[in-house]
Chains A and B, each alone.
Chain A
Amino acid sequence: MTAIEFPGEPRRRGSNLEKWGWIYMRASGVVLLVLIFGHLFMNLMVGDGIQAIDFGFVGGKWADPFWQWWDVLMLWLALIHGANGMRTLVNDYTNPGTVQKVLKGALFAAAAVLIILGTLVVFTFEPCPAGAPADLLPSFCAA
């Protein structure tokens, strides 16, 4: 028996991947709202806001695993959500063919590279690099 198709329903391509994409956009959206609003509040509203951000500020935040995981989760969820959303636009504005494949490949590559880069940056971060001027470093480096 063939299922009745709703007119607005995305074309079924064999599997139910599109449905999982649809669910992902919604689930990640709710979590991202909390993560991004928290990020913006901590970095723009507290204290001197944007004027307080420098290497020492990042060192202070990432000294706490809580903020490390906060940022990594935000990184993964936002990039996958954004890249998947961009894929919808590519589907809407290009026809199936080489151009479409290249654009989707570029989206996938950009998301993958930045997810790996960003994750490495958070977890290999060195708050007190040797030889750097002390006044640029987080205060806990002095010892």
Chain B
Amino acid sequence: MPETSAGTLTTPEKPAKQKPGGTLYRGHEGMWSWVLHRITGVAIFFFLLVHILDTALVRVSPEAYNAVIGAYQTPIMGLGEVALVGAIVFHAFNGLRIILVDFWAWATRHQKVLFWVVIALWVVTMLAFTPRHLINVFSH
């Protein structure tokens, strides 16, 4: 976009490129970690609402509980569980990063590096979890 100068004032240099408002997080690791933290938090919350209700069926009858838990043991839900665990592992590790950044000056200065540490830990954890879970899901 051409920057049309209205005239009068001579700005010494080109003004430091104006970023859109509330710029602290926009467009970089900080924003993505924030968006992901939010989305995963909401997803886990809604899962938890359902999960407490399905667990409550143990008070109804063994048959009722087993029927619902059977639904969690299908291949499609098995894949869903990988997504759920992926969301939790990210939210947990990134939550830890947020806490460190808030309380520890070193982490505040290195929060970008720490974001990639979170991603690396996520990958390692998911590599340990996913094959084992999928073998359980698909070998029955």
Interface residues of A (CB under 8 A from B): 8, 26, 29-30, 32-33, 36-37, 40, 44-45, 48-51, 53-56, 58, 75, 78-79, 82-83, 85-86, 89, 110, 114, 117-118, 120-121, 124-126, 129, 132-133, 136-137
Contacts and interface: CB of A to CB of B under 8 A. Distances in A.
B88 interface: yes
B72 A53 contact: yes
Contacts of B65: 54-55, 58
Contacts of A79: 48, 52
Contact of A136 (B42, B55, B63): B63
Contacts of B88: 36, 40
Contact of B99 (A29, A45, A49, A78): A29
A63 to B, nearest CB: 13
A125 B96 CA distance: 34
Contacts of A45: 129, 132-133
Interface size class of B (residues with CB under 8 A): 35 or more
From DSSP, what is the main secondary structure of chain A's interface residues?
A: helix
B95 A29 contact: yes
Nearest to B55: A121
From DSSP, what is the main secondary structure of chain B's interface residues?
A: helix
A129 B133 contact: no
Contacts of A49: 132-133, 136-137
A81 to B, nearest CB: 9
Given A26-B102, A40-B88, A55-B58, A50 B66 contact: no
B20 interface: no
Given A44-B133, A51-B140, A124 B85 contact: no
B95 A48 contact: no
Contacts of A58: 55, 58, 65
A51 B45 CA distance: 24
Interface in B65-91: 65-66, 69, 72-73, 78, 81, 85, 88
B60 to A, nearest CB: 10
